[in-house]
Amino acid sequence: MEPLRVGICGLGTVAQGVLKVLQNNASGIRRRTGRQLEVVAVASRTAKPEVDLGGATFSTDVMALAARDDLDVVVELIGGENTALALVERALANGTPVVTGNKAIVALHGERLFALAAANAAQLGFEAAVAGSIPIIASLTEALAGNEHDWLAGIINGTSNFILSAMAEQGQSFADALQRAQELGYAEADPTFDVEGVDAAHKLTILTALAFDAGFRFADVYTEGITKITADDMEYARELGYCIKHLGVARRRPAGIEARVHPVLVPQDHLLANIGDAMNAVLVHSNAAGDTLYAGPGAGALPTASAVVGDLISIAQGRSRLPRMASAEALRILPIDEIETAYYLRIPSLDQPGAFARVATILSDCNISIEAAIQREQTAPDAGEGRWVPIVILTHVVKELVMNEALIRVQALPEVVGEITRIRVEHFAGAD
């Protein structure tokens, strides 16, 4: 068969990884696909003469590359949103298949892009957009396609997982763990998208669309980061039998689909609790397959390049992976007020008699049951009226709206001298 002629837009770490994988594994790829995957053109806004392009031509005009008629597939690896979106749209409108690792454009514009791809008989591969080397897109759209999914939960941002792991295992503060992540290259100089949960929300949007036919509805995904988690929270969670992970959670309910990204207390013996460092993992519970766990490196040049090359091979073999668009009957994404979970609460309170009792009374009045509590003497900063101590409470399952109302009342108590920390608790035990 004729070679698959590939054009790559971008020349950053992932693009260089793709070039390396295609060069190093050329014989095996050719043997498995019956075709050679040949990079014939590379375009990047900045030239990098030190990078071996393997004989491909180079240009600084990425948009021109997307409009070429002599390419069989365009790989978009420039990042960002606006230029990348325009580039992908131009290639698809030209009838040229596209492979992208850009989770933002898929999450924010997925329905338009897939409609454009379908209208022009072009494939759109996006395995690299979620969880690096983990084949979760292929699993949801192919291997698990015969299942109805009850829920999925994932550690889908390696930076946040690295930070929380360092805080839990080494007792580091959030600031120190973040600095270490930046030194190792896991976190950007501006880590906002990672630590505030935006990156994970982009990925959960894609997973929710594929698993539940819910459409690409990023604006409806509840998003919360990890910046308020402290080393004390890690210690209290451990004492209660949990660890803290930053998860993307999607779950089918009778009234709609939950889609939320936030810190979660997970039992210490749970599969996801043991995914440390900068690793990613996605756990899917399906009605036929049961629990399936996918774990591996979620970022990095070669792991992400592996996913890109996998999509190129699918295109070379003529396999399409376009998801079905959401129908008019698609279930809505539930607002966070309607979800039900258990909760961990850390309440900074003056060290006075009766403080815990007053908190417990408010929770009881709101029909919130306490499963466990920790209150101990400890030295703490002066609040102006004496020492304060944290009241730590683990509740049973309750609706978020009810918990919100209770916390407003607790926060108003004169003994409460700081912002209450609230972390949701999940067990993920079979179908809910």
Angle, helices 103-119/82-93, rounded to nearest 10 degrees: 20
**Structurally, what CATH architecture does the domain formed by 337-425 represent?**
2-Layer Sandwich (3.30)
Q: Please state whether beta strands 73-76 and 279-286 pair in parallel, antiparallel, or not at all (unpaired).
A: unpaired
From CA 180, how far away is CA 312, in angstroms rounded?
35
CB 394 within 8 Å of CB 372: yes
Rounded mean pLDDT, 304-318: 93
Rounded mean pLDDT, 25-49: 93
CB 316 within 8 Å of CB 379: no
Is the per-residue pLDDT at 320 higher than 80?
no
Quick check: is 245 catalytic? no
Rounded mean pLDDT, 4-26: 95
From CA 316, how far away is CA 409, in angstroms rounded?
61
Catalytic hit among 20, 48, 103, 203: 203
320 versus 309: the higher-pLDDT residue is 309
Whole-model pTM: value is 0.93
Q: What is the pLDDT of residues 194-208, one digit of tens each?
A: 999 999 999 999 999
- pLDDT for the residue numbered 132: 87
Helix/strand/coil for 251: strand
H or E, element range at 139: none
CB 108 within 8 Å of CB 218: yes
The residue with tokens 């004390």 is: 232
Range(s) for CATH 3.30.360.10 in the chain?
136-299
Range(s) for CATH 3.40.50.720 in the chain?
4-129
From CA 31, how far away is CA 173, in angstroms rounded?
50
Q: What is the pLDDT of residues 48-80, one digit of tens each?
A: 999 999 999 999 999 999 999 999 999 999 988
Confidence of residue 186 (pLDDT cuts 50, 70, 90): confident
Rg of the chain, C-alpha, whole Å: 24
Q: Which residues of 257-290 are buried (b: 16+ CB within 10 A; e: fewer)?
A: bbbbbbbbbbbeebebbebbebbbbbbbbbeeee
Helices (H) and strands (E) in the chain, counts: 14, 17
Rounded mean pLDDT, 147-168: 95
Q: What is the pLDDT of residues 348-400, one digit of tens each?
A: 998 888 899 999 999 999 999 999 999 876 555 554 555 788 999 999 999 99
From CA 382, how far away is CA 55, in angstroms rounded?
68
Is the per-residue pLDDT at 272 higher than 80?
yes
Rounded mean pLDDT, 175-192: 90
From CA 307, how far away is CA 391, in angstroms rounded?
46
CATH 3.40.50.300 fits 136-299, yes or no: no
CB atoms within 10 A of CB 410: 23
Rounded mean pLDDT, 254-275: 95
Rounded mean pLDDT, 131-148: 92
CB 121 within 8 Å of CB 92: no
Q: Please state whether beta strands 57-59 and 124-125 pair in parallel, antiparallel, or not at all (unpaired).
A: unpaired
From CA 226, how far away is CA 161, in angstroms rounded?
10
Q: Report the amino acid identity of residue 237.
A: A
Range(s) for CATH 3.30.70.260 in the chain?
337-425
At 346, list the tokens: 């850390």
CB 428 within 8 Å of CB 151: yes
CB 307 within 8 Å of CB 132: yes
Q: Please state whether beta strands 340-350 and 256-267 pair in parallel, antiparallel, or not at all (unpaired).
A: unpaired
**Structurally, what CATH architecture does the domain formed by 4-129 represent?**
3-Layer(aba) Sandwich (3.40)
The residue with tokens 């070669």 is: 302
Instruction: Say which residues have a Cβ less than 8 Å from residue 29's Cβ, sequence separation at least 6.
Output: 22, 36, 37, 309, 313
Measure the N-to-C terminal CA separation of the chain; round to a whole number of Å.
49
CB 303 within 8 Å of CB 133: yes
Q: What is the DSSP string of 382-395?
A: B-SSSBEEEEEEEE
Is the per-residue pLDDT at 183 higher than 60?
yes
Is the per-residue pLDDT at 112 higher than 50?
yes
CB 121 within 8 Å of CB 110: no
From CA 385, how far away is CA 401, in angstroms rounded?
32
